[in-house]
Amino acid sequence: MTQSFLGRRGMAVAPHSLAAESAVAVLREGGNAIEAMIAAAATIAVVYPHMNSIGGDAFWVMRGPNGIAGGIDASGPSAAAASLSAYQARGIRGAIPFRGGDAALTVAGTVGGWGLAHRVAASVGGRLPLSRLLSDATLVCRIRGIPVTASQSLSTAEKLDELRDLTGFAQTFLIDGAPPAIGELFRQPRLAASLRRIAMHGTQDFYRGELARSNALELEALGSPLRFDDLAAYEARLVNPLVTSVRGATLRNMQPPSQGVVSMMILGIMDRVLRRYPKAIGGPTSPSFVHLQVEATKLAFKVRDQHLTDPAFMTISAQALLDDQRLEGLAAEVRLDRAAPWGARSDPADTVWMGVIDESGMAISFIQSIYHEFGSGLVLPTSGVNWQNRGCGFSLDPAHINRLEPRKRPFHTLNAGLAELDDGTTMVYGTMGGDGQPQTQATVFTRIHHFGQAPQDAIEAPRWLLGRTWGNASDTLKLESRFPPDLVAALGDMGHDVEVIGAWDEAVGHAGAILRRPNGVFLGGFDPRSNGAVCAL
């Protein structure tokens, strides 16, 4: 076992080091884990601008030091004017476009989530003002600038042809008309002004104040169905996370429209397969283990595609999908020696996952996104907000469970994992990466919990991905090239459609994990595939 990152008074992990540092700075000033995460969320929206924005959505899974769990759904619904008939009248029938005003059809919920989280933080002893929590983000956004990462530079170049002509994109994300080079300083002064306004007037200004009025007018002018009334009606919601048990642990994840239940189903199916065939499973990177987890993923995705959408439109509760009898039945379908057919259906996505646990044991698993790289591609002229395209995930098929309807939340790939182990350890874990999220979550959790790997080892080890994710359009079983050739061959012999990708490929996500042991010691791991870090006190 290699050495993990250690801490004694608190720890944060993020896919960009400046976000992790923002969180730990708040902990050092006496802030709690919720306040620390607000600071990290604001900073990551600035320093990883191709992956998330204040124009996106977020989910929070939380555990208090007293063991009480809660969650925040900060996802936004579609506009009141967004309907199948309205889109058909505009000649849009096959699918909602990925870019432009037609894609910018859902309210951005993440800022509302910050506001609700700030109120929750105050109710449990938090004392830091919103202005302090947003100060790091504002400073690097306007004055210091951020050194452009390889991820941002490459993403901008790869998506330039489809984004260049969209309102505000070139002005915001290009430097002298070209994608920024790695290490160039990148500033967003209009976004900085919006963050200062939110810090001064509160998060409600984004939905019911002058910022909301400006954004609504500009969204309408750019072809979005969103209006001021849609923003004004929005409230982030407190929800109870889903819960299930596997051997030695209680798992929590987010309710729909998040796909948190998928991550839990994969782990639930695997737990039952491991109990049924204990001698059939090799190590965490053996062909047998990879095969079985891929098969569990296929089964969970099939259930997801039949049932998951806005919970107000579901015919079965997500918690019922975790019923023991259902999971036992799915586990019985897994073949030990042969891959089941894979009906390709997967979505790309761009996201950030972050975790914080403070000295008291308060734990936060958090995820924030604008869906595809740069979202809709629209950057609002006054506020500098890059608006999400989460609404393009709706179906225009009237019979589809995730069909477009007014004021409906679309299905979300976003989900955030939290576990309470039977020995008293608390663990937060997650990743970015669309359909890869539940797969990587399950992989990292199992490597740590079942196989006893240190968090950093579990994250650094080669990973796999079934289907497509951001920057990747094939539906193969992708294996990082660090897997041994005999494993690749063995999976091919089982019937998997295998594709070898880069040794440290971003396609498999930017993962992270933190454990707080019963003695108060923290262990953490970050993903070298990202620009991340673990920071600790």
Structure tokens at 389: 């395209």
Residue 351 a catalytic site member: yes
Catalytic residue, candidates 106, 351, 413, 440: 351
**The 3-state secondary structure of 18-58, one letter per residue:** HHHHHHHHHHHCCCCHHHHHHHHHHHHHHHCCCCCCCECEE
Q: What are phi and psi of 230, to 5 degrees?
A: -65, -45
Q: Are 254 and 406 in contact (CB under 8 A)?
A: no
Residue 17 vs residues 146, 156, 531: alpha-carbon distances, Å = 11, 20, 6
* Beta carbons within 10 angstroms of residue 166's beta carbon: 17
CA 94 remoteness from chain centre: 27
Q: Are 110 and 42 in contact (CB under 8 A)?
A: no
Residue 104 vs residues 75, 86, 92: alpha-carbon distances, Å = 14, 14, 14
In 3D, which of 327, 309, 284 has the Cα closest to residue 451? 284
Q: Are 251 and 449 in contact (CB under 8 A)?
A: no
In this structure, which amino acid lies at residue 264? M
Residue linked to tokens 């089964």: 299
* Beta carbons within 10 angstroms of residue 150's beta carbon: 12
> What is the rounded distance in angstroms from the CA atom of residue 408 to the CA atom of residue 282?
44
> What is the rounded distance in angstroms from the CA atom of residue 36 to the CA atom of residue 362?
11
Q: Is the dihedral of CA 138, 144, 145, 149 positive or negative?
A: negative
Helix (H) or strand (E) holding 120: helix 110-123
Q: Is the dihedral of CA 501, 503, 509, 515 positive or negative?
A: positive
In 3D, which of 435, 396, 335, 525 has the Cα closest to residue 105? 396
In this structure, which amino acid lies at residue 38? I
In 3D, which of 195, 200, 164 has the Cα closest to residue 54? 195
> What is the rounded distance in angstroms from the CA atom of residue 375 to the CA atom of residue 378?
8
> What is the rounded distance in angstroms from the CA atom of residue 469 to the CA atom of residue 201?
37
* Beta carbons within 10 angstroms of residue 30's beta carbon: 12
For 269, the 3-state DSSP assignment is: helix
Tell me what percent of the chain is helix, strand and coil, each rounded to the nearest 5. 40, 20, 40
> What is the rounded distance in angstroms from the CA atom of residue 508 to the CA atom of residue 504?
9
Structure tokens at 405: 């309807």
Which active-site residues does the annotation give? 351
